[in-house]
Amino acid sequence: MDYFNLMTICAFLHLLVSIPHAYSNYVETKAGQFFSSGHTNNWAVLVCTSRFWFNYRHVANTLSVYRSVKRLGIPDSHIVLMLADDMACNYRNPKPATVFSHKNMELNVYGDDVEVDYRGYEVTVENFLRVLTGRLPPSTPRSKRLLSDDRSNILIYLTGHGGNGFLKFQDSEEISNMELADAFEQMWQKRRYNELLFIIDTCQGASMYERFYSPNLMALASSQVGEDSLSHQPDLAIGVHLMDKYTFYLLEFLEEVHPASQANMNDLFKVCPQSQCVSTPGHRTDLFQRDPGSVLITDFFGSVRKVEITKDTINLTSPVEPSVHKSGSGDIQIESLTYVDQLPVSEIIHQKPKQKDWHPPDGFILGLWTLILLVFFKTYGIKHLKHIF
């Protein structure tokens, strides 16, 4: 009996001693984990490619991912948000300045501080590829650029209408999976990303990531080739479907993620199984170097900064030279400010017409000449025509 008590007491004491040691080890490993992913900043490119009122759900999809990404810490300066149409201020919106994602108008994902970088007709395949590859004209402002470096993790989210091997932009053009794969390869060549997570919520979405060949890419899609992605719930007051199924369940999953959570990619792959989504979500991880189980959700959706304590300082001894203030009411020289002409009228009036390149004649001219030739043959000798035809 005594021996037993002694044993338990010894074990208890041992446990007490080892707990703080284990805790410090845990803190150390957590600190070490900070550098295992190899990234120092996060970017997000969120694109909605469809216009028209009945595609309300695509804008709501994109805005709800935008909300989650902002909540988890990525600042607006690191998010490129492209919305192809304005649903919040659409004429047919019964509740202007709102975009709802849950029926009965439960959650307004538009809010007061949405920063849309590319809007309306600016969302084109060309602009999207320019943002990804960085080939923007020099006058593009900072908020419209993807200024990532070789230690950036980028999240790319596309939604809209798609098909086998393409995604439709604005009902007038398409981006093919080959173009997307080439764009990612160019990003890799220039080391514009450390790791990239590609999520697409369209019909036959898995076809868009089939052709990727650059390293460090992980892709998720809402449906396989041959399947359609379905929308979730309509709201009877607004009159359209509010969200797509896959993004709805993705949003529910992300609502439980907070900046310090340890949820990993394997949990993300389980979002929206076929029983809920009707389509089968797919994912691709063969190009990714780390094991998906060790990749945190916040590696892509959040922006957990790595910090180090500043240990050394520099001893500065010489006193600060105060900047000389020109005080004195006598003659205060204020630098006269000049502003650039907003509308350089004189330049516009006097500019010479631009040199246009010569183009060969188009269809109308060809048709006209054909008509002239036929008329010539008819009047001057159908017999000439007989030898040819």
Which residues are designated catalytic?
Answer: 161, 203
* H-helix or E-strand spanning residue 8: helix 2-33
For another protein, which stretch binds (CB under 8 A), given 29-37, 60-68, 199-207, 344-352?
29-37
20 makes contact with another protein (CB under 8 A): no
Residue 54 carries which side chain, given as an amino acid letter?
A: F
230 makes contact with another protein (CB under 8 A): no
d(CA 66, CA 159): 13
Measured from the CB atom, the residue of 38 and 234 that comes closer to another protein is: 38
> What is the x/- site pattern for another protein, positions 143-162, by CB under 8 A?
x-x-x-xxx-----------
* Surface-to-core class of residue 220, CB atoms within 10 Å of its CB (0-12 exposed, 13-18 middle, 19+ buried): buried
> What is the x/- site pattern for another protein, positions 97-126, by CB under 8 A?
----------------------------xx
For another protein, which stretch binds (CB under 8 A), given 4-12, 28-36, 280-288, 347-355?
28-36
**DSSP tag of 122:** G
253-312 residues in contact with another protein (CB under 8 A) are: 259-260, 303-312
CB of 223 to another protein, least distance (A): 24
Contacting another protein (CB under 8 A), which of 32, 328, 330, 353? 32
d(CA 168, CA 362): 28
Measured from the CB atom, the residue of 12 and 380 that comes closer to another protein is: 380
Apex 22 CA angle, 16 and 27, nearest 5:
135
CB of 68 to another protein, least distance (A): 14
Measured from the CB atom, the residue of 126 and 252 that comes closer to another protein is: 126
d(CA 343, CA 354): 19
How many residues touch another protein under the rule CB under 8 A: the total is 73
Q: Cβ(53)–Cβ(90) under 8 Å?
A: yes
18 makes contact with another protein (CB under 8 A): no
Q: Cβ(257)–Cβ(297) under 8 Å?
A: yes
Apex 252 CA angle, 246 and 258, nearest 5:
130
77 makes contact with another protein (CB under 8 A): yes
**DSSP tag of 244:** B
